Amino acid sequence: MSKILIVAQHADGKLNAGTAKAVSCAQKIGGDIEVAVFAADGGAVAAEAASLAGVARVLQVDHPANEHNLAAVVAPQLAELAQARSASHVLAAGSTFGRDLMPRVAALLGVPQVSDVMQVHAPNRFDRPTYAGNAIVTVETTASPVVATVRQASFQAAASGGSGAIEKASSSAKLPTHTRFVGIESHKSERPDLQSAGRVVSGGRAFGSADNFKLLYALADKLKAGVGASRAAVDSGYVPNDMQVGQTGKIIAPELYVAIGISGAIQHLAGIKDARTIVAINKDPEAPIFEVADLGLVGDLFQILPELTSKL
């Protein structure tokens, strides 16, 4: 039977939704599921992880060095824990942290990594996207353990209601001294997190300025939606890069995605292909975004958005 070890991702004492999606992937693989929590004091996060359906136990690794969850610091501890627990699989959500962490873990364990698992056929056989999501490749690995990141847009979060056991664990792994925490700058917003939001509205370069993005924010507030942007809008300096949606940004799968003033470059489409309903607003009727949209409206966003917002 498979023994699957999942690394918990968390911030401010709360479990990230991506961890629950990694648990769903683990359920597809089948086997004993354990979640490892690395923190200075991971009690609250461990309790939250233990409540996920399908989680048999949570391994709480408390250490002062884990206060800021640096990939370089967590990697040797996770690799050591995977060996100690005889894990057949080591999984992480394919977030920025997961993509930073798991190649390090794979290297320490001397195995290749499987990236962006989007479907499970067997414990060692998976589907993953390639060519900006235009093709799906089935990969099979003989490595042990299987080290993989999970494409968050492809799995629903595991339900709560579980009652996994919580065990304290420790690590004797040598921690690196070449990487240290200096500080963090984050964009604070009352709006839903982009990668977990059920509704997302995104704007493109057609907005013309950062000030004009206020039209988008007003619509998002009415819809209680997360806010994203195309790479062109980010590169133009209209919004910060943590709002970028697409192959080189965040890959999302909301119930509703509204693309406004976004032409639909292939890299952007790769980030939204799993959205349930796509709505496009663009003045160019030939824009590629209309090829994937469920609903399309051709018109000037500066006329449409104020009217749409007022009607909502």
Element of type H or E holding 29: helix 17-29
Burial class (CB in 10 A: 0-12, 13-18, 19+), 100: middle
> Residue 196's Cα: distance from chain center in Å?
8
- Predicted structure pTM score: 0.80
In this prediction, residue 177 carries a pLDDT of 86
Q: What is the pLDDT along the chain (312 residues), one digit of tens a residue?
A: 799 999 999 988 899 889 999 999 999 999 999 999 999 999 999 999 999 999 999 999 999 999 998 999 999 999 999 999 999 999 999 988 999 999 999 999 999 999 999 999 999 999 998 887 778 999 999 999 999 999 988 898 999 988 899 999 998 999 998 888 898 877 666 788 887 789 999 999 999 999 999 999 999 999 999 999 999 999 999 999 889 999 888 888 899 999 999 999 988 998 898 899 999 999 999 999 999 999 999 999 999 999 999 999
Q: Which residues contact 227 (CB under 8 A, 6 or more apart)?
A: 189, 191, 194, 200, 201, 202, 203, 216, 217, 220, 239, 243
Q: Which domains does the chain have, with CATH numbers?
A: 3-169 (3.40.50.620), 199-311 (3.40.50.1220)
User: How distant, in Å, are the alpha carbons of 45, 50, 70, 105, 167 from that of 60?
Assistant: 9, 11, 16, 18, 6
In this prediction, residue 126 carries a pLDDT of 97
